[in-house]
Amino acid sequence: MNREFKQELASRAKEIEDYLESCLQFEGVPGELQQAMEYSLMAGGKRVRPVLCLAWGEMTGACTKDILPFASGLEMIHTYSLVHDDLPAMDNDDLRRGKPTSHKKFGEALAILAGDGLLTQAFAMMLKTSFPAENVLAAAGTVAQAAGPAGMVGGQCIDMRATGRESMELVDLKGMHAMKTGALLRAACCSGAILAGSDPENGRDTLNAYNYGSNIGLAFQIVDDILDVTGDEKSLGKPVGSDESVNKSTYPRFLGLEKSRELAQTAADEAKTCLRDYQGQGRDFLYRLAQYIVDRAS
Amino acid sequence: MNREFKQELASRAKEIEDYLESCLQFEGVPGELQQAMEYSLMAGGKRVRPVLCLAWGEMTGACTKDILPFASGLEMIHTYSLVHDDLPAMDNDDLRRGKPTSHKKFGEALAILAGDGLLTQAFAMMLKTSFPAENVLAAAGTVAQAAGPAGMVGGQCIDMRATGRESMELVDLKGMHAMKTGALLRAACCSGAILAGSDPENGRDTLNAYNYGSNIGLAFQIVDDILDVTGDEKSLGKPVGSDESVNKSTYPRFLGLEKSRELAQTAADEAKTCLRDYQGQGRDFLYRLAQYIVDRAS
């Protein structure tokens, strides 16, 4: 089952990548900026955020082909955040997915600009999605909130403040991750449902998507922390034990490995219960995705 | 007349600042991030972009009060671009409007994040504007295009590449500025007209706004270059002659001071002709703004 699921995940990711490639030739963009944006955007990755958006849209009644521009915007936002997080003034990382980070390859100035360009272009893409204007507006607004100072950017800020200080409580660690990685994963799910017509505040599908996204976000982060201790450097594409070496607050540090694994499984199970009202291929995929996040080795 | 106009400009800017202050308390934002965003956003400035958006909206039939959230988003985008442009890896400036730049005051990491936060929050603000969803979508899309890799970000990239090399031709200098500063000024005007209901592609008001914005953008940049040679350090809030010292391509270098002044006046006159179909207070303000841009001393 795991192999079959991985194939489906890869084929869904491929759909996103093909679309990203087709729309990457932005007219009037300076060559080196284009190159730097493309380098990071096409550097692989599981494309989890756009895949989530498409699957939630599919499951709640939207035509997935029409969601592609919006979903691609989500991947651009995720990519920009990686490029800026890697900068010398931030996490100062040399490698990302086994390749030199943007600033190592293109220099700091261009890495900053590539990130800014990806973030701005993401909104240009999302706003061009062919759905009723109200739906697009609400979905893009949800993403902007999630990616902004009270979401992803704020989470990175708290993470920066905490690194090396060992002062974070478990509840703060959870809160930080809910902002840094959880918010955009959640918004990816919700925006799919909102595009399909669910009310952005109180729609049943939006609420289910919100809870599903929160729980897989939590599971994802716990497993990330576990893999940093137990993982294999080659399949991770980054050094093992890097959290430990910078004295970073992680789930295994607070709870130990076994309890961390239990917590991740509980979150995945919670996510699955959010799918009980649905059926079809999209639902089956999302169900297995929740488990895959716990079982993955990289 | 000039003094009277400056008072009107200041009172329009004040309306924006009051609104910005009222909406700056974002819920759930880490304190230091909030502080860094606020520091740059409330550091003064003429608020030209939001003022342009409001005046074009007013002149073409929109209720200006309703445009405030959108107009504030434009100022956030402008502010983010200043914060990132000042970074050590970019222009490496220590002072902005006579105060320490964001990275000097808060450190590089927080300056990068404050910029990212302002850019993302800008879209959250713009997308919440209470106008018909189609209008908001088209107006925000216009701004995203203008601020992105084929606009402002791309212009900064070309500017970085050129600084110190003295290799730029006059036509490239014009093109660079049309992207770096012109695009957002243009989008500020167009978005006001689009919010008021003008067709984003072919609407008469949109086209007039586009041409007006292009021309005042050109005039603005030429006068900026002139003031760098002839200006008064105190009223500029930055060192005079800084372009010369880094061997930067400027209008006075290409054309001399007198021809540069002539070109700025021609552009301002062109801008004024874009207003011939309109009347009322908004029109008068925009007319005098075009001239003020040429006559200003800072």
Contact state of A150 with B27 under an 8 Å Cβ cutoff: yes
Partner B contacted by A194 (CB < 8 A)? no
Partner B contacted by A34 (CB < 8 A)? yes
Q: Say which CATH architecture domain A2-295 belongs to.
A: Orthogonal Bundle (1.10)
Which residues, listed in sequence order, are joined to residue A100 by a DSSP beta bridge?
A: A95
Dist. CA A12–CA B250, nearest whole Å: 50
User: What's A239-260 look like in SS3?
Assistant: CCCHHHHCCCCCHHHHHHHHHH
Residue A86 sits at φ, ψ, to 5 deg, of -75, -15
DSSP secondary structure, A129-154, as one string: -SS-HHHHHHHHHHHHHHHSTTTHHH
Distance of CA A266 to the CA centre of its chain: 20
Partners of residue B120 in chain A, C-beta under 8 Å? 119, 144, 147-149, 152-153
Give the tokens for residue B139: 């107006």
Partner B contacted by A145 (CB < 8 A)? yes
Contact state of A32 with B156 under an 8 Å Cβ cutoff: no
Give the model confidence (pLDDT) of B99-109 as tens digits.
999 999 999 99
Contact state of B149 with A123 under an 8 Å Cβ cutoff: no
User: What confidence category does residue B280 fall into, taking pLDDT thresholds of 50, 70 and 90?
Assistant: very high
The mean pLDDT value for B106-126 works out to: 98
Smallest Cβ–Cβ distance between B112 and the set A34, A89, A152 belongs to A89
Best A37, A126, A153, A165 residue to mutate vs chain B (most B CBs within 10 Å): A153
Dist. CA B133–CA B128, nearest whole Å: 10
Closest CA of chain A from B267, distance in Å: 24
DSSP secondary structure, B232-280, as one string: -HHHHTS-TTHHHHTT---HHHHHHHHHHHHHHHHHHHHHHHTTTT--S
Give the tokens for residue A70: 């919006």
Closest CA of chain A from B240, distance in Å: 25
Partners of residue A124 in chain B, C-beta under 8 Å? 141, 144-145, 148
Give the model confidence (pLDDT) of B267-279 as tens digits.
999 999 999 999 9
Best A110, A121, A123, A145 residue to mutate vs chain B (most B CBs within 10 Å): A123
Q: What value of ipTM does the predicted structure carry?
A: 0.95
Across A280-294, B48-62, B196-210, B231-245, least confident range: B231-245
What's the confidence (pLDDT) of residue A207?
98
Answer whether B72's CB lies under 8 Å from B94's CB: no
Dist. CA B185–CA B271, nearest whole Å: 13
Amino acid at A268: A
Q: Taking a contact as any Cβ pair under 8 Å apart, which residues of chain B between 80 and 139 contact chain A?
A: 80, 84, 87, 89-90, 107-110, 112-113, 115-117, 119-121, 123-124, 127-128, 132-134, 136-137
Answer whether B55's CB lies under 8 Å from A177's CB: no
Question: Minimal Cα distance from B123: which residue of A?
Answer: A144
Taking alpha carbons only, the member of B220, B200, B219 closest to residue B210 is B200
What's the confidence (pLDDT) of residue B236?
62
Best B26, B110, B112, B128 residue to mutate vs chain A (most A CBs within 10 Å): B112
Q: Where do runs of H (alpha helix) occur along B60-203?
A: 64-85, 102-106, 108-127, 133-147, 152-162, 170-177, 183-195
Give the tokens for residue A85: 């997080």
Q: What's the mean pLDDT when you consider all of chain B?
A: 93
Q: Is the pLDDT of residue B1 over 90?
A: no
Tens-digit pLDDT string for chain A (298 aa): 578 899 999 999 999 999 999 887 777 899 999 999 999 999 988 999 999 999 999 999 998 899 999 999 999 999 999 999 999 999 999 999 899 999 999 999 999 999 999 999 999 999 999 999 999 999 999 999 999 999 999 999 999 888 766 568 888 899 999 999 999 999 999 999 999 999 999 999 999 999 999 999 999 999 999 998 887 766 666 666 767 666 778 899 999 999 999 999 999 999 999 999 999 999 999 999 999 999 987 7
| Largest separation between any pair of C-alpha atoms in chain B | 53
Partner B contacted by A23 (CB < 8 A)? no
Q: Which whole-number Å values give the CA distances from A182 to A190, A219, B26, B128, in the listed order? A: 12, 10, 19, 23
CB-based burial of residue B124 (10 Å sphere; 0-12 exposed, 13-18 middle, 19+ buried)? buried
Answer whether B52's CB lies under 8 Å from B192's CB: yes
